[in-house]
Structures are given as C-alpha cells and as structure tokens.
C-alpha cells in the first residue's frame, strides 16, 4: 500500500504534466520571455540614446601624488573619453572584443586560465570598482566572463608598443591565448616585400609607390627602424613621413628585403582606449606596489634542474621579445621602437643594487616581479615564485654569455660574482626644504640636459642619445610619474646611485653624498605632483585643497577615507558627492 505522500506525489505529477497545463505554461513562458526581451531592448535603446548630460556626474576616488611625493586618495571626477579614445571604443565594440573580454570580472580567489594564473591580489586589480568608472560607457561593455582576461584595469599595465605587438600576434605574446591577430584590421601591410638598399646616410628602403606613400625621402628628419630576424619591419605613426634608416647595428636581420607592418590611425585609437581603462582611479598601481618583493632574500645555487625548468618558462613568457638566444631580437622586438628588449649576451643589467654590471638574484627577481614601467616588460608577480626563480637561473647560466668564440663561450655569472649590494637606509621624511635642496642638486648635476627643465625627457641632449648597442634611447619622462625602476623614492634613489648600465644614465654614487641623492630623488618624485598619469596634464585643483593634501600628516589610506569625502558628505558616507578635483585638462570630449 502506498503512503499518502506517495499518492499525492503521483497526483501532482499527473496534474502538472497534463497536456493543457503544458500548453498554458508554454504560452506563459513565451509571454514572459517576450516581455523580458522587450525590457532588455528598451533598456539597451535607452543606454544607447540617453543624452550624456543625464549621466555627467561621475564621482570616483583616485590616487594622486602630492608635492612631497606622497600618494593620497581623493574624491575626484571621472574623465570622459577623448575623441580618440571614443573612436577606439567603437572599434573595440565593432570587432566583437566583448564576446571574450569582460570589464567586470574580478576574482575573489586565484584562478588558472589557459593563459596562466589570474591573481586576486590588489596589485592586479587595485581598488574595488565604483559607479563613476563606467558613467561614460554608452552602451556598457561588461562582456563575457572567463573566456579572455578582464580588461577593467588594463590601462598602463603594458606599454603602447606591447599592445601593438600583441594585436599583431596575440598567441606569440601570450601563450595559451585563443585570440587571433588583427593584421588586416589594424595594420597597413603592403603585399610586396621592400628591398633594402644603400643610401647617402646608410641603409634605407627602395623608393616605390608604397614607400613614398609612407615615407618622405626628402625629409631632414631621419628615423631608425629595425626589422626582426624574419624581416618584419614595424613602422609607427611617428616614423611615417620621415626619412627611413634601416638600423641593424648587431646584424638583427641578414636578408635583403622586408615586410612592412605600419601603424594605422585605427590601431592608435584602439590602443588609446585600452590604455584608458581603469585610469580614472589615478595612480592606483603605485599605491598597491609593495616595498619588497616576495622571495627577495632567496639565492639559489646553480642547478641543472632549475635551469631546465627556467628554459620552459623563458620559452613561454620571454622569447617573443628577448629572442631565442637572449640577444633582445625576438620577433616582437621590431615593434619596440622606443626601448629595445634587454640583450643578455652583453652581461649588462640596468636595475640592480650592485656597483658592477652583474645583479644579484634579488635584483633580477625584483625586475621580473615588478616589470619595467613604461616599457614592454610587464610585471610577472602573478607567476609562481618557483617559476620566477627558475627563469633567473636560465638567464644567468645560459643566456648571459659571450659566444663570439663558439668553442669557448664566456659565462659571466660563472667567471665572476656580483659585487656587494648597496645598503639603503630609511628615506628621510619629505619636506619643502628637502625638495628645494633636491632642485639645486638637479641643476648642479645637469639632469635637465637630458630630462629637460621640467623633467619631460625633452632636454637639449635628448635627441642624440643612444644605448650601448647603438639604438636610439629617449630619457625618461619624469613628469609623467611612470618610473622604470619603481614608484617609490627608494627606487629612484637606487637608480641615481647605481645608474642604468647600458644607457647614458650614469651613477651619481661617487659624485654626491647620500643626503644629496635622497634630496634629488624626492625632487624627481615631486615633478609628477598633481598630474594625470595617463595624459601628463595638470589636475585642476584649488590652492586651498592642494595645500591641505600637501600636509604630511594627512592620512588617506583607502578610498573610503579619501580626502574630500567628509567635506562633501557632511561627515557621513555617500556615493554621489561633489568632486574636489576635476578631470585633467585635455581629457574628455
């Protein structure tokens, strides 16, 4: 005998599976789906057609640098896209980038994707998102989660040159990527190869309809362009309509003709849009940069097993730029026209605490983990520590070698040991007097000859500078606040003390005492005070608010304690307040 509950279950099953009820449920479902679809269409139409004035208020909290070089959270106003960025956003939507890339998916725990580990660290994602960040996204571009990396914090994570190489060959830059290249959509790629010929100023390209469209062979402005080992030559917009010099000081290419991949306005626009993402939060990357790299005190003895593991990491992560032999001539190197990848075979390293050119393991780990700001060298802190340590072994004991005599290669790290690292004490408390003293050292050391009077990298000697390998190199734009060696005053002090081996930047360790170098480092940091990190333009701010933010004791450790929130909201938390700092001059439409 069935229990009452069993009988009721059968009755309910028969009732809810009756044909008339199934038809009714189907009709109701279609009506609900139709109503829901109509709502979605109406919402999409509203988002596309709503006048911008209705959404013009876009308060966000952002990180700024004050006149003493300190980082402070402030209430600010998100900047609208520039016309170029808006054009790039249109290309982004038209190309279907939202089908794979999201702009909203922030993991709460580390996850592993085909392209690698995605950390939940604040170094990767920065502060929690705020509504003002997407106030000007019309229509929204949240995208699909998990298929490709989230781009909500992509701005200034990589250099423009990295993005251009990535758009050309995404899978060559990021192993495990499913993204296809955009050769036909974003690049000007004339079909015939172009011959390399001799000219009055060195090697150039033959004159024909293609080259005369891209270059001006009568121009007094000469640009040096270097093809990769396969003969691919990237031509940035800045080099077009100038005289082309094919520059191969280290026999980067041995062929007689090249294939051109020229930057287009569409590529410029799309790159500008990508660099905008997340930058309404200001210098958040600097704020989340740790003072010390995890594992920095670890030094490993030479190990064949570690070297073999490091080779795999190198081939997956580094080979595109640094090349198979570590000579800085990977396939992507032709795209890196502002700063070539490091050539390990010379045994010279820029960023170190040692007096000589060889770095310690801690120096290499710091560079790999933090990257080199403003260049195509990204931060690799998301890689597991053992992979970073392994690739250091491969770089040291395989690639850093003089192989001019193949029978007797000279392995620098086996022949000599790095010198003792420089001991750096605690930085002095920044004060106006310290900054002023640093300015005097700036003038005395003639930093302005290369970096310019305001630190923009436009000094009188800037145009003729080149690195030890013969490639043109521009002085750093210190006013932009994106420092290659790191965003802290200690990082700048280290660079001043050791110099940057392989570049015209000398060491001032013996020229100035420690106190002067600290003052100079503080002054250099102050050059980017109250500047928009994306545009370099000044942030409009009243003298009263600027003076308040320059108070050393003012503590703003988080977005919830940003300067201006209490004044704007009467001492209580609020989400829509009157910003105290507006968007940078030159931004917006």
CA dist 298 and 306 (Å) reads: 14
Write the pLDDT tens digit of every residue in 28-38.
444 445 555 55
Q: Quick one: DSSP state of residue 546?
A: H
Average of per-residue pLDDT across 353-382: 93
CA dist 575 and 565 (Å) reads: 9
Question: What are the contacts of 473-478 at 24+ separation with CB within 8 A?
Answer: 473/339, 473/503, 473/504, 474/338, 475/450, 475/451, 475/504, 475/505, 476/374, 476/451, 477/374, 477/536, 478/451, 478/524, 478/527, 478/528
The angle subtended at Cα 107 by Cα 177 and Cα 157, nearest 5°, is: 60
Percent above pLDDT 70 for the chain: 84
Higher pLDDT, 420 or 523: 523
Average of per-residue pLDDT across 48-57: 53
Q: Residue 120: what pLDDT?
A: 77
Sort strands 116-118 and 111-113 into parallel, antiparallel or unpaired: antiparallel
Top mean-pLDDT range of 95-109, 389-403, 406-420: 389-403
CA dist 107 and 395 (Å) reads: 32
Same fold across 290-415 and 432-526: yes
Choose among 123, 85, 92: nearest CA to 106: 123
CA dist 6 and 48 (Å) reads: 55
CB-based contacts of 417: which residues, under 8 Å, 6+ apart? 358
Quick one: CATH architecture of 59-183+274-286? Orthogonal Bundle (1.10)
Half-sphere exposure for 429 (CA within 13 Å, toward CB): 5
- In this predicted structure, the answer to whether residue 42 has a pLDDT above a threshold of 60 is no
Domain ranges of the chain: 59-183+274-286, 187-269, 290-415, 432-526
Structure tokens at 222: 């000469």
Q: Residue 582: what pLDDT?
A: 59
- Quote the pTM value: 0.87
- In this predicted structure, the answer to whether residue 12 has a pLDDT above a threshold of 50 is no
Q: Residue 123: what pLDDT?
A: 86
Taking the alpha carbons of 252, 483, 370, 535 in that order, is the dihedral positive or negative? negative
Q: Which of 111-115, 142-146, 407-411 is least confident?
A: 111-115
Quick one: CATH architecture of 432-526? Orthogonal Bundle (1.10)
Average of per-residue pLDDT across 212-234: 96
Q: Quick one: DSSP state of residue 237?
A: G
Helix axes of 83-94 and 265-276: crossing angle, nearest 10 degrees:
100
Q: Residue 23: what pLDDT?
A: 45
Taking the alpha carbons of 329, 477, 554, 494 in that order, is the dihedral positive or negative? positive
Q: Residue 512: what pLDDT?
A: 97
Q: Residue 198: what pLDDT?
A: 94
195 forms beta bridges with 257
Average of per-residue pLDDT across 265-273: 98
What is 290-415's CATH superfamily? Cytochrome c-like domain (1.10.760.10)
- In this predicted structure, the answer to whether residue 533 has a pLDDT above a threshold of 70 is yes
Sort strands 222-225 and 243-246 into parallel, antiparallel or unpaired: parallel
Name the H helices within 72-186.
Answer: 83-94, 122-125, 160-168, 170-173, 183-186
Average of per-residue pLDDT across 246-258: 95
Q: Which of 127-136, 192-201, 284-293, 320-329 is least confident?
A: 284-293
Q: Residue 88: what pLDDT?
A: 97
């Amino acid at each position: 005998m069935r229990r009452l509950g069993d009988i009721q279950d059968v009755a309910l099953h028969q009732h809810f599976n009756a044909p008339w009820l199934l038809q009714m449920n189907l009709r109701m479902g279609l009506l609900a789906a139709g109503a829901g679809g109509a709502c979605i269409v109406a919402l999409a139409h509203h988002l596309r057609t709503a006048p911008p004035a209705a959404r013009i208020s876009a308060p966000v909290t952002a990180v700024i640098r004050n006149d003493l070089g300190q980082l402070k959270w402030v209430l600010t106003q998100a900047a609208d896209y520039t016309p170029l960025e808006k054009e790039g956003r249109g290309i982004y939507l038209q190309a279907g980038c939202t089908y794979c890339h999201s702009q909203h998916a922030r993991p709460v725990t580390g996850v592993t994707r085909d392209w690698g580990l995605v950390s939940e660290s604040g170094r990767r994602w920065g502060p929690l998102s705020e509504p003002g960040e997407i106030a000007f996204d019309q229509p929204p571009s949240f995208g699909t989660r998990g298929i490709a990396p989230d781009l909500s914090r992509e701005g200034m994570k990589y250099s423009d040159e990295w993005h251009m190489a990535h758009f050309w060959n995404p899978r060559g830059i990021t192993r495990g990527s499913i993204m296809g290249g955009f050769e036909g959509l974003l690049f000007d790629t004339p079909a015939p190869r172009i011959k390399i010929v001799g000219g009055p100023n060195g090697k150039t390209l033959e004159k024909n309809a293609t080259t005369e469209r891209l270059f001006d062979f009568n121009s007094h402005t000469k640009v040096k362009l270097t093809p990769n080992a396969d003969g691919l030559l990237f031509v940035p917009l800045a080099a077009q309509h100038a005289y082309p010099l094919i520059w191969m000081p280290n026999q980067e290419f041995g062929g007689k003709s090249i294939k051109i991949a020229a930057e287009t306005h569409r590529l410029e626009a799309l790159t500008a849009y990508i660099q905008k993402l997340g930058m309404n939060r200001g210098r958040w990357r600097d704020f989340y940069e740790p003072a010390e790299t995890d594992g920095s005190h670890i030094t490993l003895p030479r190990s064949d097993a570690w070297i073999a593991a490091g080779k795999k990491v190198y081939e997956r992560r580094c080979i595109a730029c640094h090349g198979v032999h570590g000579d800085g001539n990977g396939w992507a190197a032709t795209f890196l026209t502002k700063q070539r990848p490091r050539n390990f075979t010379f045994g010279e390293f820029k960023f170190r605490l040692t007096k000589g050119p060889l770095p310690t393991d801690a120096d290499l780990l710091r560079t790999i983990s933090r990257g080199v700001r403003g260049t195509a060298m990204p931060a690799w802190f998301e890689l597991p520590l053992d992979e970073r340590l392994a690739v250091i072994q491969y770089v040291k004991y395989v690639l850093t070698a003089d192989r001019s005599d193949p029978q007797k290669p000279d392995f620098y790290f086996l022949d000599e040991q790095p010198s003792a690292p420089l001991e750096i004490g605690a930085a002095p408390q920044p004060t106006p007097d310290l900054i002023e003293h640093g300015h005097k050292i700036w003038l005395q050391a003639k930093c302005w000859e290369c970096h310019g009077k305001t630190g923009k990298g436009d000094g009188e000697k800037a145009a003729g500078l080149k690195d030890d390998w013969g490639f043109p190199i521009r002085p750093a734009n210190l006013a932009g606040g994106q420092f290659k060696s790191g965003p802290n005053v200690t990082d700048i002090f280290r660079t001043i003390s050791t110099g940057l081996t392989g570049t015209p930047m000398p060491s001032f360790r013996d020229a100035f005492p420690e106190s002067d170098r600290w003052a100079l480092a503080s002054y250099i940091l102050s050059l980017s005070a109250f500047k928009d990190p994306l545009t370099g333009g000044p942030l409009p701010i009243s003298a009263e608010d600027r003076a308040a933010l320059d108070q050393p004791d003012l503590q703003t450790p988080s977005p919830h304690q940003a300067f201006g929130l209490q004044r704007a909201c009467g001492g209580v938390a609020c989400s829509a307040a009157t910003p105290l700092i507006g968007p940078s001059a030159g931004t917006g439409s």
